Structure 1
């Protein structure tokens, strides 16, 4: 599917906004992790993958989730993330995981389940990056499973569920009228109206 210029522009704008949010969230993570520890602070993970479901939910094109996450991660990196290059590299892995969620359903299913699956798979692939970067001996089995579990739950809630809430709220304002999300919604409404009118 060919991307339209307006879709590219919106994807970039939203990804940049998310990237700035990622940077702020990264900064907030420092004092929180210092107080409750890195494992405890894992509940914050989901915000770092919200770009993928937001952009994919609106544009509904192959590659949207991956491009959004990588772009947001790049913005976080170049605006001064203390995570350095790791911010971009983990973004690549998270983007792949998120993209897989939509690919599983052949880019035809954009409901809450798929968005939450996107956040969950982003968490799994993000952990794969951490294991490769830090070494398989970095985590004890207990810490690994606990961290992964919290990341998955956070990815589902702060990544997937929150993305749907944000986009649905934006949709009500009318600013997304020219995008796939609203076109699909109108098709469903027309179909339901036609059936009920029989």
Structure 2
């Protein structure tokens, strides 16, 4: 279920389409979570940064030119990798065996691809079709596709 935490970064990158957008959106989500109260406290800011960084790296590898479902899924996968391998293994699960860590990473990557990637892509497309994000490029694409 990690993917639900990664979704804001993917959606932010798909909407804003600028370097740093995923980090910015994910940090905002982490700040809101910290202010609402959680069991991790301000440590969610570290998670938010790493998740946003993973998505930013994915879109950066694509030179911020592709905003399709495969790009969104890659963003979800890399967000999971950055979050789990750079932070959670060492902070939350240091006693896991390497087998357990790798299984956890694989499940996180799958969740990132499906929930954050596919889910984020579907969410952004639905918002565009509904007219909720008319100021963003994705809305223009939705209008052009509707005319075809």
Q: Verify: 1:117 aligned to 2:74, yes or no.
A: yes
Within 1, Cα distance between the matches of 2:58 and 2:44?
21
Within 2, Cα distance between the matches of 1:81 and 1:131?
20
Unpaired segments of 5 or more residues in structure 1?
Answer: 1-43, 194-198
Matched with 1:55 is 12
Judge conservation of contact 1:98–1:121 (CA < 8 Å) in 2: yes
Structure 2 length-normalised TM: 0.89
- Displaced runs of 4 or more, over 6 A: 187-190
Matched with 2:89 is 131
CA pair 189-61 structure 1, distance change in 2 beyond 3 A: farther
CA pair 187-106 structure 1, distance change in 2 beyond 3 A: farther
Within 1, Cα distance between the matches of 2:143 and 2:130?
15
From 65, 84, 105, the equivalent of 1:148 is 105
Compute the displacement of 1:114 (Å).
0.6
Structure 1 length-normalised TM: 0.68
Within 2, Cα distance between the matches of 1:178 and 1:48?
25
Q: Verify: 1:64 aligned to 2:64, yes or no.
A: no
Within 1, Cα distance between the matches of 2:40 and 2:92?
13
Q: Verify: 1:91 aligned to 2:48, yes or no.
A: yes
Q: How many residues align?
A: 147
Unpaired segments of 5 or more residues in structure 2?
Answer: none
Higher relative contact order (CA 8 A, sep 6+): 2
Equivalent residues in 2 for 1:153-192, closer than 5 Å = 153-185=110-142
**Which of the two has higher C-alpha Rg?**
1
Q: Deviations over 1:147-172 (max 9, x none)?
A: 10100000111111001111111111
- C-alpha RMSD of matched pairs (Å): 2.0
Judge conservation of contact 1:60–1:181 (CA < 8 Å) in 2: no
